[in-house]
């Protein structure tokens, strides 16, 4: 079941996909342990083996590579982690402006805040927003004593030893500098150095890096500072933290001081007096962007006078006196070589464009999403076309349109059969209005290797089986577990018996479990063997069959046998069975169709049979036919004092009433507790019969 030891060459495609997900999760767990908790859990060699296996699978199945692939991450060898440094002055982030209009709003808000008229111009500085990572470097009595990353803004990583290797950052300040100085700015890697490093990595047969920013971050994370030293990191100073005394009273004055102390400062920094001048400078920098030796992603404007900065102050995470004017997404043209179908966790089929690798803003792009079949049609793209793509920040690149189309370009046919191993038909659902939806799904549900885990999580969720100690996290744990795998619902109920057969490797002896917790889990599973019919129906995760629909079905059919029989009959096209279900209140053709489809798949039938063989399914309480509220629609509003809202609803339903959430012409009774508001007014307007809680109890006896 688990592929850990299966050679990469022997993996089937679904196995490879599952394995890539498992490896990504496992590597992320180790990265987290190493980077954040300073507590690595495996040896370097074992970690490297995981990364190598991940890479080998990606090489064999390049199209399965995850967007968040561990091979894209610039990692550090597993060893001891970094210490933490708490920033004396928090490191905040910046608000973003995406249009000239946003910039005007930003400046006008400053004028309003300060109570000055717009013509009474306030100078701002404008400088490129460097795409690197921010750093706070502390000097005491002129000597560099510590350097920390931003971290969460309050606490960062202590990377002092590494920062000392950055030759552009002075280790001492000149005579006369204040006794405490914290210089802040951006550590980055120049495009040229990034490309040279990648060429070196490739020549050595090593994994190359994604972009200069990640590489700079990864290079700083090296525990061996000599590796950092070999990476040619650079720095721009643009801000400060704690200062025992201020050497200047303006932003640009501070930048001049930093330059005099020996820090690199950005040459494109300007002090400007009007909104138009800011926007002109932004456009100029935008034009120069591609030719700059480093990546930037916008222009930062800051109020120049520090006394005004102080008066303006901060919102929760960003200053009122500064904003980042971002550049629009970057675009490029490349050839679309293939369109593959990816199956998502809920079975949605997404077409993905495979592209001839192209660098967009320093990132090598090889895939882009095409969303759905309609999008492919709308764009008119065919395989072999030159297409324009766009990458906005870290989001998945998109295809914008066709640039040129060769004669031999091939039309893409959306598959009718899911690429998952099951060869199940692809279905396209109708939306409420009977219009065909754009999403195509694999109808494999529980059996589809891509959907199984998600279905299991739904199966154990609160409104379904709700087993104490078996939630999403535990499904993740057991799903890929080699000793006690849970791959379908019935596996949950055989867990104890399978555990008992495991000899020494019992659950109680495993990490995260003990005697008591293992026993508690088995007890909770046993308790869940007796289940209400509606919960069972809901837990199957059949599309369109939510909690309410499951209740309606349970009440209408009464027993599991009756539901099962009806579902199988519907699947076989029995019109009487279809009409019978369709006639139920609140149940429309989409539900009937989804049920028929679900029970039309052999693997679903088997899965359900295996599951129900483990359960005692309670009969649904038949709603009273003779109660005074049978068939009526009731709305509860205001606060109820004698029963909870849930109880009130259950009671009304038991008595054969339908409970609605809002008042309409169809409402027969409104039960209004104290504090009832608009629903009561509306009921009175419509002449709906209204009563309080006591009245309700009197009525139903
Ligand atoms: S000023 C209190 N200036 O952008 C404001 N930040 O989105 C301090 N950044 O965390 C930041 N270039 O890492 C400032 N010229 C620049 C910048 C800059 C890049 C980064 C910085 C910050 C992020 C906010």
Domains of the chain: 84-326 (3.30.470.30), 467-527 (no CATH), 532-618 (1.10.150.20), 633-700 (3.40.50.10190)
Q: Ligand 1, residues 93, 149, 216: which to mutate, most atoms within 8 A of Cβ?
A: 93
In the reported structure, the alpha carbon of residue 109 is separated from the centroid of ligand 1 by a whole-number distance in angstroms of 20
Helix or strand run (H / E) with residue 582: helix 575-582
**Alpha carbon distance 455, 460 (integer Å):** 9
Q: Which atom, in ligand 1's list, is nearest to the CA of 134?
A: 13
Q: Ligand 1, residues 187, 314, 324, 327: which to mutate, most atoms within 8 A of Cβ?
A: 324
In the reported structure, the alpha carbon of residue 146 is separated from the centroid of ligand 1 by a whole-number distance in angstroms of 20
* pLDDT surpasses 50 at 131: yes
At 81 the pLDDT is 62
Q: Which atom, in ligand 1's list, is nearest to the CA of 150?
A: 10
In the reported structure, the alpha carbon of residue 226 is separated from the centroid of ligand 1 by a whole-number distance in angstroms of 27
What is the dihedral angle through the alpha carbons of 199, 200, 206, 212, rounded to the nearest 10 degrees? -60
Residue with tokens 């030796």: 293
Ligand 1, atom 2: nearest CA belongs to which residue? 92
**Mean pLDDT confidence for 111-138:** 89
Q: Burial of 129 by CB count in 10 Å (0-12 exposed, 13-18 middle, 19+ buried)?
A: buried
Where does residue 10 fall: left (phi above 0), alpha (psi -120 to 50 degrees), or beta otherwise? alpha
At 231 the pLDDT is 86
Ligand 1 surroundings by CB, under 6 angstroms = 92-94, 127, 129-130, 134, 150, 186, 238-239, 300, 319, 322, 324
Q: What is the DSSP letter of 488?
A: S
**Alpha carbon distance 152, 150 (integer Å):** 6
Longest alpha-carbon distance in the chain: 95
At 80 the pLDDT is 39
Q: Ligand 1, residues 238, 297, 299: which to mutate, most atoms within 8 A of Cβ?
A: 238
| 8 Å CB contact between 306 and 249 | yes
**Mean pLDDT confidence for 172-185:** 96
**Mean pLDDT confidence for 658-674:** 87
User: Residues 543-601: pLDDT tens digits?
Assistant: 889 888 999 899 889 999 999 999 999 999 999 999 989 888 778 888 999 899 899 98
Token pair for residue 247? Answer: 């050497």
**Alpha carbon distance 405, 657 (integer Å):** 62
User: Residues 351-398: pLDDT tens digits?
Assistant: 999 999 888 866 778 899 888 888 899 999 999 999 999 876 555 688
| 8 Å CB contact between 166 and 234 | yes
**Alpha carbon distance 23, 116 (integer Å):** 58
* pLDDT surpasses 90 at 124: yes
| 46: helix, strand or coil | helix
| 8 Å CB contact between 299 and 326 | no
In the reported structure, the alpha carbon of residue 76 is separated from the centroid of ligand 1 by a whole-number distance in angstroms of 25
Where does residue 675 fall: left (phi above 0), alpha (psi -120 to 50 degrees), or beta otherwise? left
At 75 the pLDDT is 38
At 695 the pLDDT is 93
| 237: helix, strand or coil | strand
- When mean pLDDT is compared across 30-34, 208-212, 362-366, 671-675, the lowest value belongs to 30-34
Q: What separation in angstroms does the CA of 624 have from each of 138, 621, 654?
A: 76, 9, 7
Q: Cα 617 vs. chain centroid, distance in angstroms?
A: 37
What does DSSP say about strands 143-149 and 270-272: parallel, antiparallel, or unpaired? unpaired
- Residue 358's CB: how many other CB atoms inside 10 A? 16
Task: Give 391's Cβ-side CA count (13 Å radius).
Answer: 18
| 521: helix, strand or coil | helix
Ligand 1, atom 6: nearest CA belongs to which residue? 129
In the reported structure, the alpha carbon of residue 93 is separated from the centroid of ligand 1 by a whole-number distance in angstroms of 6
Q: Which residue, among 362, 352, 360, has the nearest Cα to 388 in the 3D structure?
A: 360
**Alpha carbon distance 299, 282 (integer Å):** 6
In the reported structure, the alpha carbon of residue 181 is separated from the centroid of ligand 1 by a whole-number distance in angstroms of 18
**Alpha carbon distance 339, 336 (integer Å):** 8
Average pLDDT of the chain is 87
Burial 684-700 (b: 16+ CB within 10 A, else e): eeeebebebbeebeeee
Q: Which residue, among 187, 146, 144, has the nearest Cα to 168 in the 3D structure?
A: 187
pTM over 0.85: no
At 2 the pLDDT is 41
At 433 the pLDDT is 55
Ligand 1, atom 23: nearest CA belongs to which residue? 93
At 1 the pLDDT is 34
Helix or strand run (H / E) with residue 223: none
**Mean pLDDT confidence for 264-274:** 96
In the reported structure, the alpha carbon of residue 254 is separated from the centroid of ligand 1 by a whole-number distance in angstroms of 15
Q: For the chain, report the end-to-end CA distance as a whole number of angstroms.
A: 58
Q: Which atom, in ligand 1's list, is nearest to the CA of 131?
A: 19
Q: Which residue, among 692, 677, 481, 667, has the nearest Cα to 26 in the 3D structure?
A: 481
Residue with tokens 């690149």: 397
| 8 Å CB contact between 539 and 489 | yes
For residue 532, the cross-strand partners are 618
Q: Which atom, in ligand 1's list, is nearest to the CA of 269?
A: 15
**Mean pLDDT confidence for 144-163:** 91
Most confident of 211-215, 446-450, 460-464: 460-464
**Alpha carbon distance 125, 302 (integer Å):** 5
Helix or strand run (H / E) with residue 682: helix 678-686
User: Residues 488-544: pLDDT tens digits?
Assistant: 999 999 999 999 998 878 999 988 899 999 999 999 999 999 999 999 999 999 988
In the reported structure, the alpha carbon of residue 115 is separated from the centroid of ligand 1 by a whole-number distance in angstroms of 27
What percentage of the chain has pLDDT greater than the value 70? Answer: 91
Q: How confident is the model at residue 79 (pLDDT cuts 50, 70, 90)?
A: very low
In the reported structure, the alpha carbon of residue 94 is separated from the centroid of ligand 1 by a whole-number distance in angstroms of 7
Most confident of 38-42, 219-223, 376-380: 376-380
Q: Which atom, in ligand 1's list, is nearest to the CA of 129?
A: 12
Q: Which atom, in ligand 1's list, is nearest to the CA of 318?
A: 2
Q: Which residue, among 439, 395, 345, 392, has the nearest Cα to 67 in the 3D structure?
A: 395
**Mean pLDDT confidence for 107-117:** 88
At 208 the pLDDT is 65
Residues 6+ apart with CB under 8 A from 441: 346, 347, 348, 349, 426, 427, 428, 429, 543
Ligand 1, atom 15: nearest CA belongs to which residue? 129
Q: Ligand 1, residues 300, 309, 315, 318: which to mutate, most atoms within 8 A of Cβ?
A: 300
Q: What separation in angstroms does the CA of 472 have from each of 520, 525, 590?
A: 17, 15, 28
At 235 the pLDDT is 97
Q: Ligand 1, residues 98, 128, 129: which to mutate, most atoms within 8 A of Cβ?
A: 129
Q: Ligand 1, residues 95, 124, 125, 130: which to mutate, most atoms within 8 A of Cβ?
A: 130
In the reported structure, the alpha carbon of residue 518 is separated from the centroid of ligand 1 by a whole-number distance in angstroms of 50
In the reported structure, the alpha carbon of residue 134 is separated from the centroid of ligand 1 by a whole-number distance in angstroms of 7
The larger pLDDT score, comparing residue 52 to residue 244, is at 244
In the reported structure, the alpha carbon of residue 30 is separated from the centroid of ligand 1 by a whole-number distance in angstroms of 30
The question of whether 129 is a catalytic residue gets the answer: yes
**Mean pLDDT confidence for 643-662:** 82
Ligand 1, atom 21: nearest CA belongs to which residue? 134
Beta strands in 223-369 (DSSP E): 234-243, 270-272, 296-303, 322-326, 330-343, 349-360, 363-369
Ligand 1, atom 9: nearest CA belongs to which residue? 129
In the reported structure, the alpha carbon of residue 129 is separated from the centroid of ligand 1 by a whole-number distance in angstroms of 6
List 17, 129, 326, 679, catalytic entry: 129
Q: Which residue, among 348, 407, 353, 347, has the nearest Cα to 375 in the 3D structure?
A: 353
What is the dihedral angle through the alpha carbons of 532, 534, 539, 540, rounded to the nearest 10 degrees? 120
**Alpha carbon distance 119, 597 (integer Å):** 69
User: Residues 82-99: pLDDT tens digits?
Assistant: 788 999 999 988 999 989
**Alpha carbon distance 403, 374 (integer Å):** 19
User: Residues 606-622: pLDDT tens digits?
Assistant: 999 999 999 999 998 77
Q: Which atom, in ligand 1's list, is nearest to the CA of 266?
A: 15
User: Residues 294-333: pLDDT tens digits?
Assistant: 989 899 999 999 999 999 998 877 899 999 999 887 788 9
At 43 the pLDDT is 60
**Mean pLDDT confidence for 74-78:** 36
User: Residues 229-264: pLDDT tens digits?
Assistant: 888 899 999 999 999 999 999 999 999 999 999 999
Ligand 1, atom 16: nearest CA belongs to which residue? 129
């Amino acid at each position: 079941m688990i592929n850990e030891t299966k050679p990469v060459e022997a993996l089937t495609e679904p196995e490879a996909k599952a394995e890539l997900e498992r490896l990504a999760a496992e590597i992320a767990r180790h990265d987290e342990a190493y980077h954040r908790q300073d507590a690595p859990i495996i040896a370097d060699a074992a970690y490297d083996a995981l990364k190598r296996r991940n890479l080998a699978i990606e090489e064999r199945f390049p199209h399965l590579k995850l967007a968040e692939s561990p091979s894209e991450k610039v990692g550090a060898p597993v060893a001891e982690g970094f210490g933490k440094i708490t920033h004396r002055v928090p490191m905040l982030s910046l608000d973003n402006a995406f249009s000239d209009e946003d910039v005007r709003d930003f400046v006008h808000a400053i004028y309003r805040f300060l109570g000055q008229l717009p013509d009474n111009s306030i100078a701002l500085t404008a400088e490129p927003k460097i795409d690197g990572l921010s750093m706070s470097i502390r000097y005491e009595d002129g000597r560099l004593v510590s350097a920390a990353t931003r971290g969460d803004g309050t606490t960062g990583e202590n990377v002092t030893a590494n920062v000392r290797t950055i030759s552009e950052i002075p280790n001492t300040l000149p005579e006369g500098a204040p006794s405490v100085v914290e210089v802040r700015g951006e550590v980055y890697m120049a495009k040229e150095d990034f490309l040279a490093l990648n060429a070196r990595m490739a020549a050595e047969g090593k994994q190359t890096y994604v972009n200069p920013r990640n590489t700079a971050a990864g290079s700083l994370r090296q525990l061996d500072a000599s590796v950092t030293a070999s990476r040619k990191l650079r720095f721009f100073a643009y801000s400060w933290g704690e200062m025992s005394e201020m050497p200047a009273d303006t932003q640009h004055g501070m930048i001049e001081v930093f330059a005099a102390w020996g820090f690199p400062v950005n040459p494109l920094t300007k002090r400007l007096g009007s909104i138009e001048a800011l926007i002109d400078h932004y456009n100029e920098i935008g034009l120069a962007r591609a030719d700059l030796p480093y990546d930037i992603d916008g222009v930062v404007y800051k109020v120049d006078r520090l006394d005004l900065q102080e008066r303006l102050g901060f919102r929760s995470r960003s200053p009122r006196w500064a904003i980042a004017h971002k550049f629009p997404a970057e675009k490029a043209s490349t050839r679309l070589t293939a369109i593959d179908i990816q199956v998502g966790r809920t079975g949605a089929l997404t077409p993905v464009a495979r592209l001839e690798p192209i660098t967009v803003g320093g990132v090598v792009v090889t895939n882009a999403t095409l969303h759905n079949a309609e999008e492919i049609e709308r764009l008119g793209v065919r395989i072999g076309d030159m297409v324009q793509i766009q990458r906005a920040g870290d989001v998945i690149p998109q295809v914008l349109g066709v640039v040129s189309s060769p004669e031999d370009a091939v039309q893409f046919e959306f598959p009718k059969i899911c690429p998952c191993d099951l060869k199940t038909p692809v279905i396209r659902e109708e939306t409420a209005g009977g219009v065909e939806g754009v999403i195509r799904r694999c109808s494999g549900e529980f059996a589809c290797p891509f959907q199984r885990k998600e279905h299991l999580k739904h199966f154990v969720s609160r409104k379904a089986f709700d087993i104490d100690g078996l939630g999403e996290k535990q499904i993740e744990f057991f799903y890929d577990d080699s000793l006690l795998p849970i791959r379908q619902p019935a596996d949950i109920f055989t867990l104890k018996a399978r555990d008992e057969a495991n000899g020494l490797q019992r659950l109680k002896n495993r990490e995260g479990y003990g005697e008591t917790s293992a026993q508690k889990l088995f007890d909770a599973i046993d308790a869940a063997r007796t289940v209400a019919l509606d919960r069972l129906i809901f837990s199957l995760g059949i599309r369109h069959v939510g909690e309410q629909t499951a209740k309606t079905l349970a009440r209408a059919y009464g027993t599991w046998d009756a539901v099962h029989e009806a579902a199988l009959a519907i699947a076989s096209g029995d019109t009487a069975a279809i009409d019978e279900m369709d006639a139920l209140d609140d149940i429309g053709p989409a539900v009937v169709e989804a049920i028929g489809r679900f029970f039309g798949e052999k693997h679903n039938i088997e899965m359900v049979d295996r599951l129900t063989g483990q359960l005692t399914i309670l009969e649904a309480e038949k709603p009273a036919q003779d109660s005074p509220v049978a068939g009526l629609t009731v709305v509860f509003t205001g606060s109820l004092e004698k029963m909870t809202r849930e109880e009130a609803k259950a009671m009304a339903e038991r008595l054969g009433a339908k409970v609605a959430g809002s008042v309409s012409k169809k409402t027969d009774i409104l039960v209004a507790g104290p504090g009832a508001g608009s629903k009561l007014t509306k009921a009175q307007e419509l002449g709906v019969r209204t009563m309080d809680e006591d009245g309700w109890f009197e009525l139903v006896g």
